[in-house]
Structure 1
Amino acid sequence: MLLAPLAAVGLAVVMAPAGTFHVRRREDSAIGMNAVLPALAVVVAWGRFGPYSF
């Protein structure tokens, strides 16, 4: 029950520096995925840790 939100937080933490890496190298095709994955991970973590968690 606790592993999914921790994995989501870990993914969001790892993808933040990855996004800055791709921005600095001007790899435009990878920037979109680096924006979508952390956003989805934050939604999952908020859903699992949040006030209405199930």
Structure 2
Amino acid sequence: MTLLALVDCAAVVYVLFTGKRSFYDRMIYTLIIFLLPFAGAAFAAYKHYYWLKEH
């Protein structure tokens, strides 16, 4: 989980400080990259909870 967070931060920094994209584009990319792990974690937690309820 910590490794994922580090990769996440590195990706955000990379997107923010490289390329000739506009500021708006960089903000969108940052939001997507930042939210993906949270969405994945929430989905995993939901599936785990559902599995516990079933068994």
TM-score normalised over the length of structure 2: 0.45
| Larger Rg over CA atoms | 2
User: TM-score, normalising length from structure 1?
Assistant: 0.46
Which protein has the bigger helix share? 2
Q: Which structure ranks higher in relative contact order (CA pairs < 8 Å, sequence separation ≥ 6)?
A: 1
